[in-house]
Amino acid sequence: MRRGTAATRVVITGMGVVSPIGIGRAAYWDGLVRGRTGVGRISAFDPQDHPCQIAAEVRGFDAEQFVAPKTVRRSDRFTQLALAAARMAIDDARLDASGVDLDRCGVVVGSGIGGLGSIEAEHRVLQDRGPGRVSPFLIPMMIANIAGGEIAIAHGFRGPNYAVSSACASSNHAIGASLRHLQRGEAEVMICGGAEAPITPLCLAGFCRAGALTTAFNDDPGAASRPFDARRSGFVMGEGAGIVVLETLAHAVRRGAPICAELAGFASTDDAFHITQPDPEGNAAARAMELALADADLRPEQIDYLNAHGTSTPLNDRFETAAIKRVFGAHARQLAISSTKSMTGHLLGAAGAVELVATVSCIQSGTIHPTINQDHRDPDCDLDYVPNQARRRQVDCAISSSLGFGGHNSTVVVRRAQA
């Protein structure tokens, strides 16, 4: 197995999560293992006129516990979520800014939607009160790169910094880009992941009109997100943020950092098929997994667990299952597969990072979280999705995949940390 040198190997040393089922990695993981749903009727606004009236909201989030009040007033919710997750990840990594080279600490944070809530709010101000009343902070509130910029400002990180926006693959791409910065020697520490706050009237209406959201479970929200189940009818929109701290192994060892897992490989492809529908053959999604495994120098049969994109849409889950079978062959039947989205809903551009935290937690805990709402067998989705109950199992190597509108596919590979 190719291991590389301590300068090129990359490890995860801290993880922070703000999710619909828990704030902080411990609460989040507890929710996943217990199979707790974060889906309920929308409270951020009155959804009465919308065909879909449910979402997975982050409840009980007080931004001022993590962010200065002045920053809260001038920032969109997605930035506040990112700042909170970043602070938790940095604390988790025991990363002291005074003890690192800030010129070699970078930030890459992805978002598929950015500050849409601020755009909607300030457009109402424009319509009702005129252009002179629009907030002077609208532009920095709405642009997707501002979350990474605010994290850098808060902590003094002066290394590579930019945003990635590739729909629901955004945070996986941000993590993959950060991995490459570290492997090329352009940084020693990267803060990366994704944040999303899309539960707004316009965003809900748009996804509904696209036919992406389920409208069949308004009266039973907890049953709405049901990846790989025969009764699935669309995804449930979610919000939140996931941020991880990546470091070169040499840097992590030098400062005595806690090591959660090794980030061993990454790859991305595109279907080049349709703006919203995945390729029915799953060819490019399969190729992303194959390339990521090759990047990690792992064989398919060495993978113990797969955190699926698993959106709960009729097409995604069937085509993703086909892609998994293509990559893993007979070993696909031995894989434990679960969808975090069954509990968190779909966090769009934040999904990949939040799901990477789940994947690493599986490795650390020896427990695989379930896919809830697995009640009705679909003959096209006939693999082991760890239905409804968490399972004890040692996981040494795992992959997590994300797909996005535009045909984007991305896969990260993680393995148990070893010397």
Which pLDDT tens digit goes with each residue over 38-92? 999 999 999 999 999 999 999 999 999 999 999 999 999 999 999 999 999 999 9
Which range marks the domain in which residue 36 is found? 10-254
Share of the chain above pLDDT 70, in %: 98
Q: Are 219 and 285 in a shared domain?
A: no
Last residue of a domain, one of 221, 254, 287: 254
Read off the pLDDT of each residue in 127-155 and give the average, rounded to a whole number: 97
Instruction: List the CATH number of the domain containing 307.
Output: 3.40.47.10
User: Known catalytic residue: 309?
Assistant: yes
Q: Are 218 and 331 in a shared domain?
A: no
pLDDT of residue 7: 63
Q: Are 247 and 382 in a shared domain?
A: no
State yes or no: pLDDT of 295 exceeds 90. Answer: yes
Is 97 part of a structural domain of the chain? yes
pLDDT tens digits, one per residue of 3-13: 566 668 999 99
What is the C-alpha to C-alpha distance for residues 44 and 201, in angstroms, rounded to an integer? 9
Q: Are 96 and 170 in a shared domain?
A: yes
The catalytically annotated residue of 155, 173, 251, 309 is: 309
Banded model confidence at residue 1, pLDDT cuts 50, 70, 90 = very low
State yes or no: pLDDT of 272 exceeds 80. Answer: yes
Banded model confidence at residue 278, pLDDT cuts 50, 70, 90 = confident
The catalytically annotated residue of 173, 251, 346, 408 is: 346
For the record, the structure tokens of 332 come out as 């696909």
Is 261 part of a structural domain of the chain? no
Is 262 part of a structural domain of the chain? no
Q: Are 78 and 221 in a shared domain?
A: yes
Q: Are 249 and 285 in a shared domain?
A: no
Contact 23, 58 (CB under 8 A): yes
Q: Are 114 and 205 in a shared domain?
A: yes
Last residue of a domain, one of 254, 278, 307: 254
State yes or no: pLDDT of 418 exceeds 90. Answer: no
Torsion of CA 34, 39, 44, 49, to 10 degrees: -170
pLDDT of residue 248: 97
Is 347 part of a structural domain of the chain? yes
**Average per-residue pLDDT in the chain?**
96
The catalytically annotated residue of 52, 168, 203, 397 is: 168
pLDDT tens digits, one per residue of 178-208: 999 999 999 999 999 999 999 999 999 999 9
User: Known catalytic residue: 346?
Assistant: yes
State yes or no: pLDDT of 119 exceeds 90. Answer: yes
Last residue of a domain, one of 223, 254, 285: 254
pLDDT of residue 403: 95
pLDDT tens digits, one per residue of 214-254: 999 999 999 999 999 999 999 999 999 999 999 999 999 99
Q: Are 281 and 331 in a shared domain?
A: yes
Is 334 part of a structural domain of the chain? yes
Q: Are 274 and 248 in a shared domain?
A: no
pLDDT tens digits, one per residue of 159-177: 999 999 999 999 999 999 9
pLDDT tens digits, one per residue of 343-396: 999 999 999 999 999 999 999 999 999 999 999 999 999 999 999 999 999 999
Q: Are 301 and 250 in a shared domain?
A: no
Q: Are 64 and 149 in a shared domain?
A: yes
Residue with tokens 């449910």: 54
pTM: 0.96
State yes or no: pLDDT of 336 exceeds 80. Answer: yes
What is the C-alpha to C-alpha distance for residues 296 and 291, in angstroms, rounded to an integer? 9
Is 5 part of a structural domain of the chain? no
Is 2 part of a structural domain of the chain? no
Q: Are 200 and 70 in a shared domain?
A: yes
Domain count, the chain: 2
Is 162 part of a structural domain of the chain? yes
